[in-house]
Amino acid sequence: MRSVATVVPVRSPGLEERATVEEISEARQCARQLAGALSSEDALGFARAFTAGAMRHFWSSATFGSERPLRPVRLALRDLSSEEEELARRLASALARLGDEDGSYGVGTLYTSLLPEAYRSSYGAYYTPPALVRRLLENVSALGFDWSQGTILDPACGGAAFLAPIATAIIRRLRADGRPDAVILDHLARRLRGVEIDPFAAWLSMALVDLAVVRAGVRSDWPLSDLVTVGDALQCCARGRNLFGMGRGHRFDLVIGNPPYGRVSLPTRLRNKYARSLYGHANLYGLFTDLALRLTGRDSIVAYVTPTSFLGGQYFKRLRALLGEETRPASLDFVESRTGVFEDVLQETVLAVFERPPGKAKTRVSAVTPSPAGPVEVEELGEFDLPRRPEDPWVFPRSRRQHGLLQNGAGLKARLSDYGFTVSTGPLVWNRHKDQLISCPGENQLPLIWAEAVSPRGEFSFSASGRNHQPYFRLKKGQDHLVTSAPCLLVQRTTAKEQSRRLIAAILPEDFLRENQRGVVVENHLNIVRAVGRARVPLEALWVLFNSDTLDGLFRCINGSVAVSAYELNALPLPEIEQTLELAEMTRTGCPRQELEERIRTLYGIKSA
């Protein structure tokens, strides 16, 4: 592993720019209030009409009243009232003062912010901020991609977050080579493509590409050829349809974008088409990653903005195996700050670049922190290998403090199964058994263990303080599979990276079980770490490990979502059994927590500061 720290400075916005941002925020809030007062169907119509109105005014402001007209919307739009029209004008005028990229991004996110929530979620409509777009394009360029020669596709191009900057990059490159405007436009028409499922977002994307061409000063017949096709890229690829106007069987040199995400239920035909990358639940961005591999050739690049969950989750094991087999993960940039990056999105995010053909070179890993007022801050974290079996969780640092931990700790061979333990999810999904939740004990009424019974300090306290929670569960005939009757380690299943601890674990005490001889019922938001037969290390030693800063840090390098899954816990590298037995003895003799922590650091190869 090599590691070099690099920081790109961030400028601070001036007073005038801050005033513009505040004006935009106020106008957007007014528009959202107007949309929020409507039914879902009417809100969709308003979102499109209002955004189209804002785009008209933005076009006029950004092109300085150019005679070139905005391309027409080929959808029926409702009329705006005079007040709505004036609000759209004020908002567009303020957006134009932000400049080309930020202003265009503001128009795109205006549309998504006005969409009914159900519609927005079903289409995964979250557009990429310009600073992250620039960073991803830089990472593609670092691999030697030739913007003047390659064919490029964004398969979910709403808002033209990538298409417009790429068009600008192509124009600059061809201009530098002395190409005339007619050749430049022909090049764009032949080599740049987008697909978008939402017909209005497709129009908006093409309008923003038009704007990029006008702002670049390209003179031509008008309008530009339509580079964006309306359609579902996943469905059309599965049917063998050619959405891209590049000839059947064409393979792109670069597939880039921010694909939609979210779990989906697939029809049998579609599931069969993408079966090679599916394990259990299907997620849209995983399907789009598989699609990108199908649409690229041997010497090509896939560059996506995605959630980080594919790096460690069990449902993505086949996708990881596919990526490891067909590509080399060239770079991974972990987005350090989530708030204010993607509107209303709390997923952890990574800028991932995959290179074909696959090779043995290491993966360059960085942490990037976007700023609303300038470029991203970049901290290079080093270069790392994939696991021997690519389907296993990919262990990468998210921050500099995790370097030393990964240098040695990721290589430890023992796992929970070697200790004689297995992990399962708490068996009770409470909202399927609401009539069995009760407030007092009694015959066949067992203690119900909720996640709040496990404190951040690693202590167990029988509690049911959450909303709609009750402390007991009335067991019915045939439900013995819900009962836990032996001591075990309880681990919270949902924690966020902002919390001081991701691993929050406590022992279900023997004393508590003796008081409740029938056993207890563990709810679904807890994992249960239990012995299979005779355990090779005591439960107390596991408790010490799980509540250590070291294992918590290592888990953060594996995990890519708020879920603490049994699959990832089973994959945690652990010390050898003899070393863990030593920890157990230190615990038994009352060794201070700080000394235990230091010993664990040593076992994971971390030198003292």
The residues facing 474 across adjacent strands are: 445
The residues facing 484 across adjacent strands are: 520
The answer to whether the CB of 364 falls within 8 A of the CB of 334 is no
Q: Is residue 311 part of a domain?
A: yes
The per-residue pLDDT for 115 is: 94
CA atoms of 284 and 306, how far apart (whole Å): 10
Q: Is residue 405 part of a domain?
A: no
Q: Final residue of a domain: which of 370, 397, 424?
A: 397
Residue 493 shares a structural domain with residue 592: yes
DSSP letter, residue 571 = T
The answer to whether the CB of 421 falls within 8 A of the CB of 534 is no
Structure-model confidence comparison of residues 146 and 347, the more confident one: 146
In percent, how much of the chain has pLDDT > 90? 75
* The pLDDT of residue 153 is above 90: yes
* The pLDDT of residue 4 is above 60: no
The answer to whether the CB of 313 falls within 8 A of the CB of 286 is no
* The pLDDT of residue 348 is above 50: yes
The per-residue pLDDT for 68 is: 84
CA atoms of 460 and 16, how far apart (whole Å): 54
pLDDT, tens digit, 9 for 90 and up, residues 217-272: 887 766 688 999 999 999 887 666 666 666 667 899 999 999 999 899 999 999 99
* The pLDDT of residue 125 is above 90: no
Range in 256-265, 372-381, 409-418 the model is least confident about = 372-381
pTM above threshold 0.75: yes
CA atoms of 65 and 369, how far apart (whole Å): 36
Nearest partner of 337 among 328, 329, 325, 348, judged by Cα: 348
pLDDT, tens digit, 9 for 90 and up, residues 429-441: 999 999 999 999 9
Residue 334 shares a structural domain with residue 437: no
- Say which residue the tokens 């935009």 belong to: 24
Average pLDDT over residues 96-111: 93
Query: Residue 311 maps to which CATH number?
Result: 3.40.50.150
Residue 273 shares a structural domain with residue 388: yes
pLDDT band, residue 498 (cuts 50/70/90): confident
The residues facing 422 across adjacent strands are: 530
Number of domains comprising the chain: 4
Average pLDDT over residues 329-349: 72
Residue 235 shares a structural domain with residue 291: no
Query: Residue 550 maps to which CATH number?
Result: 3.90.220.10
The answer to whether the CB of 368 falls within 8 A of the CB of 334 is yes
The answer to whether the CB of 491 falls within 8 A of the CB of 543 is no
Residue 357 shares a structural domain with residue 256: yes
CA atoms of 564 and 567, how far apart (whole Å): 9
* The pLDDT of residue 340 is above 70: no
Q: Output the CA torsion sign for 284, 289, 290, 296.
A: positive
pLDDT band, residue 5 (cuts 50/70/90): very low
Residue 488 shares a structural domain with residue 435: yes
pLDDT, tens digit, 9 for 90 and up, residues 169-182: 999 999 999 999 88
Residue 258 shares a structural domain with residue 185: no
Q: Which amino acid makes up residue 540?
A: E
Q: Is residue 23 part of a domain?
A: yes
DSSP letter, residue 218 = -
Q: Is residue 608 part of a domain?
A: no
Concatenated DSSP letters for 373-387? TEEEEEEEEEEEPPP
Q: Is residue 238 part of a domain?
A: yes
Q: Which residues of 116-128 are buried (b: 16+ CB within 10 A; e: fewer)?
A: beebbeebbbbbb
Residue 517 shares a structural domain with residue 561: yes
In sequence order, which ranges of 485-591 are alpha helices (DSSP H)? Answer: 510-515, 539-546, 549-558, 566-570, 577-588
Residue 240 shares a structural domain with residue 256: no
CA atoms of 473 and 438, how far apart (whole Å): 6
* Whether the bond into 329 is cis, omega within 30 of 0: no
Q: Final residue of a domain: which of 202, 225, 247?
A: 247
The per-residue pLDDT for 219 is: 79
Q: Output the CA torsion sign for 118, 304, 47, 226.
A: negative
Q: Output the CA torsion sign for 118, 123, 124, 128.
A: negative
Please tell me the total number of residues recorded for the chain in this structure.
609
Beta-carbon count within 10 A of 358 CB: 16
Residue 450 shares a structural domain with residue 372: no
- Residue 524: domain span: 411-603
CA atoms of 325 and 321, how far apart (whole Å): 6
Q: Is residue 521 part of a domain?
A: yes
Residue 89 shares a structural domain with residue 189: no
The per-residue pLDDT for 360 is: 84
Q: Final residue of a domain: which of 397, 429, 455?
A: 397
- Report the DSSP pairing between strands 263-264 and 437-438: unpaired
Nearest partner of 192 among 257, 123, 260, judged by Cα: 257
Q: Is residue 2 part of a domain?
A: no
Helix (H) / strand (E) containing 50: helix 40-62
Return the structure tokens found at 305: 């903005």
Range in 106-115, 364-373, 497-506 the model is least confident about = 364-373
CA atoms of 258 and 278, how far apart (whole Å): 20
Q: Is residue 507 part of a domain?
A: yes
Helix (H) / strand (E) containing 295: helix 284-295
pLDDT band, residue 535 (cuts 50/70/90): very high
Residue 486 shares a structural domain with residue 577: yes
Q: Output the CA torsion sign for 561, 563, 565, 571.
A: positive
